[in-house]
Amino acid sequence: MANEQELEYEQLPDNGGYNELRTLDWREHIRLRPGMYIGKLGNGEQPDDGIYVIFKEVLDNSIDEHNQGYGKQIDIEVSDHAVSVRDYGRGIPLASLIDAASKINTGAKYDTKNYKMSVGLNGVGIKATNALSASFYIQSFRDGQTISASFRQGELVEQSGIVPTDEPNGTLVQFEPDGEIFRGYSYHEDFVETMVKNYSYLHTGLTISFNGRKFHSKNGLCDLLKDYMTTEPLYPIIHLTGQDIEVVITHAAQYGEEFYSFVNGQHTPQGGTHQSAFREAVSRTIKEFFGRNFEYSDIRNGMVAAISIGISEPIFESQTKTKLGSSNISNEPGAPTVYKFVNDFIKKELDNFLHREPNLTEVMLKKIVDSEKERKAIAGVTKQARERAKKVALHNRKLRDCRFHLNDAKGDLRDQTSIFITEGDSASGSITKVRNVDTQAVFSLRGKPLNTYGKTQKVVYENEEFNLLQAALNIEEGLDGLRYNKVIIATDADVDGMHIRLLMVTFLLQFFPDLIKKGHVYILQTPLFRVQNKKEAKRQRGKGAKSQPIEKYYCYTDEERIAAINKLGDNAEITRFKGLGEISPDEFREFIGPDMRLDRVNLKKDDAVTDMLGFYMGKNTMERQEFIINNLVVEDDSDIAEV
């Protein structure tokens, strides 16, 4: 059987046997089971949605060419629905162009001969992009000649012969994701820019032009950390480099720890063996340097660090390559383990650096000692809080957990898990009735949470709401134990709801900033208005039962409301939703399903977190009052009914 073919078995329920076999070609299998190749689908609202994965598969090939020493520039153009990537590497061998784009398990990266440090070793990547694209065009320029081919949903529709060209060597790929697969998709420039920045930081000497803007890094991970940090470092960033390894380390005046990791230029947001080894090696080396019995948690509190390593033939825990699973640096006999490789480097280089920089180590020591003092000061409170949380967990009415954590869900659904943080029993009740019990949990707040601005971590344990929430999320010791992939703040779209939302974000910014920086915190957007056909709704209410579907539109903005009114004309009946608890469960079902609208809470260096929190959550009441008055907008909604 040809390598590019896969078998899909259909089991007939009548006799339990495999009575029918279907042989799928490569493109059919990818389109039938896209999750096997790119993870989730999505519509572009989240940075790990499939449209970014298939874009990255193309870009990775260009990056690999640069790593081999061919091509110092990559030109990228991304619009809402289309992508173009032009590199200046060697170009795909002309006779192999169509096979490279459409024959699965075909590639040049199956061993270390051609690409020693690559992430694309399975011969699938660009073929998945091709199969999942409405249109896909690829052209190779090589030694004064060029050839091109066009595909539609993976099927070849046109190809050129080999002709002369004046263009420099390299490869051009242009594609549009298939709207039948990625429904309602759109590329978000912020997500693409973050990806492009990471590539530039990890490949010094490479210039990436993205929609006319150029990204280039001279200082590698040091530039990356400066860009990621939202508060100033307490001491200059420690930057260490070696053969196939680069690390940066500092501390900031914040709680928690931030670790970023990369393998062969691939961001691994879920960490893996290299990140675990790095965290432990850094903690042990610093502890031994100071010769004091510090706890690792005190050493890492406030630490911001990143590691990038090169591995021959890396093994990832999924096709989307978000977590490294490799035990060894390579498959060669006698190759060190990832743990030993990282530990030996840190133990030698970091220890030598610390001995050379007494002024820096003095600041580092103060930060660690301060963390230790604060931890010991609240030790009694912490112990009691943990005991309370354990007791409450047995009969916790605040948390309605999902089956995934109750050991009753089937399959690996961890990436799909979420928890809604709601205000009051009515809102949590509505969500609880219609949620996906396998993956969606609900945590109910009692009234407005405490304003934690300027408070110490002691408040997390003393405050019942925060103590139980921390226990529900399981983030006391960091994000490694996080129980839900998405933490969704779901409050009413009124003044009180906005205040609660702000208080919750303040709490997370103060004590768990990495939860936000790693993209786990979201705001649930619920519709402000329902616009429906007045005559149809009246007729249905008169019958006392549902008959035919009513033409209705749920509107999240005034623009959407106006568009819906224009569609229905004089028959438009407008209802304004005031609170989550006042929306019927049947309607609510549509708002928290697979297509629910979520706004990710982002945190960037330009946000100036300290100043922002000080202004909005500090004691400068008169200054805020003046700001509100000067920016107040009054809307006339007298013609809208409220529920």
Banded model confidence at residue 163, pLDDT cuts 50, 70, 90? very high
The residue extents of the domains of the chain are: 38-215, 221-358, 379-526+598-630
Helix (H) / strand (E) element for 270: namely none
Check whether 12 has a pLDDT greater than 50: no
- Over range 616-627, report the average pLDDT: 73
pTM value surpassing 0.75: yes
The larger pLDDT score, comparing residue 220 to residue 7, is at 220
Check whether 311 has a pLDDT greater than 70: yes
What is the Cα–Cα distance from 603 to 591, expressed in whole angstroms? Answer: 25
Cα angle 54, 56, 61 (rounded to 5 degrees) comes to 110
Cα angle 604, 606, 607 (rounded to 5 degrees) comes to 70
Rg of the chain, C-alpha, whole Å = 27
Q: Which residues are CB-neighbours of 23 under 8 A, at least 6 positions away?
A: 1, 5, 7
- For 300: left if phi > 0, alpha if psi spans -120 to 50, otherwise beta; the answer is alpha
Banded model confidence at residue 22, pLDDT cuts 50, 70, 90? low
Task: Report pLDDT for 406.
Answer: 64
For every residue of 521-558, DSSP letters joined together read EEEEE--SEEEEEHHHHHHHHHHTS--SPP-EEEESSH
- Over range 384-409, report the average pLDDT: 68
Distances (CA, A) of 443 to 404, 523, 610: 16, 14, 28
- Over range 202-221, report the average pLDDT: 94
**Predicted confidence (pLDDT) per residue in 355-366, tens digit:** 999 999 999 999
The larger pLDDT score, comparing residue 15 to residue 235, is at 235
Banded model confidence at residue 6, pLDDT cuts 50, 70, 90? very low
CB atoms under 10 Å from CB of 230, counted, come to 21
Check whether 193 has a pLDDT greater than 80: yes
**Predicted confidence (pLDDT) per residue in 69-124, tens digit:** 899 999 999 999 999 999 999 999 999 999 999 887 555 554 444 444 555 444 46
For every residue of 404-472, DSSP letters joined together read GGGT---S--GGG-EEEEEEHHHHHHHHHHHS-TTTEEEEEE-SSPP--TT--THHHHHSHHHHHHHHH
- Over range 55-64, report the average pLDDT: 92
Helix (H) / strand (E) element for 191: namely helix 189-202
CATH classification of 38-215 is 3.30.565.10, yes or no?
A: yes
CATH classification of 379-526+598-630 is 2.60.40.1120, yes or no?
A: no
Annotation: CATH topology of 221-358: Ribosomal Protein S5; domain 2 (3.30.230)
Helix (H) / strand (E) element for 588: namely helix 585-591
Q: Which residues are CB-neighbours of 639 under 8 A, at least 6 positions away?
A: 574
The larger pLDDT score, comparing residue 178 to residue 105, is at 178
Check whether 271 has a pLDDT greater than 90: no
Helix (H) / strand (E) element for 74: namely strand 73-78
Check whether 390 has a pLDDT greater than 70: no
- For 272: left if phi > 0, alpha if psi spans -120 to 50, otherwise beta; the answer is left
Check whether 237 has a pLDDT greater than 60: yes
**Residue 112 one-letter amino acid:** T
What is the Cα–Cα distance from 165 to 577, expressed in whole angstroms? Answer: 62
221-358 with 379-526+598-630: one CATH topology? no
The answer to whether 307 and 247 have CB atoms below 8 angstroms apart is: yes
**Residue 554 one-letter amino acid:** Y
**Predicted confidence (pLDDT) per residue in 117-155, tens digit:** 555 444 468 999 999 999 999 999 999 999 999 999 999
CB atoms under 10 Å from CB of 395, counted, come to 6
The answer to whether 186 and 52 have CB atoms below 8 angstroms apart is: no
Cα angle 92, 96, 97 (rounded to 5 degrees) comes to 60
The answer to whether 34 and 41 have CB atoms below 8 angstroms apart is: yes
Check whether 36 has a pLDDT greater than 70: yes
Check whether 415 has a pLDDT greater than 50: yes
Q: Which of 262-271, 404-413, 434-443 has the lowest mean pLDDT?
A: 404-413
Check whether 338 has a pLDDT greater than 70: yes
Helix (H) / strand (E) element for 23: namely strand 20-24
The larger pLDDT score, comparing residue 15 to residue 478, is at 478
The larger pLDDT score, comparing residue 534 to residue 12, is at 534
Banded model confidence at residue 542, pLDDT cuts 50, 70, 90? low
- Of the chain, the percentage scoring pLDDT greater than 90 comes to 41
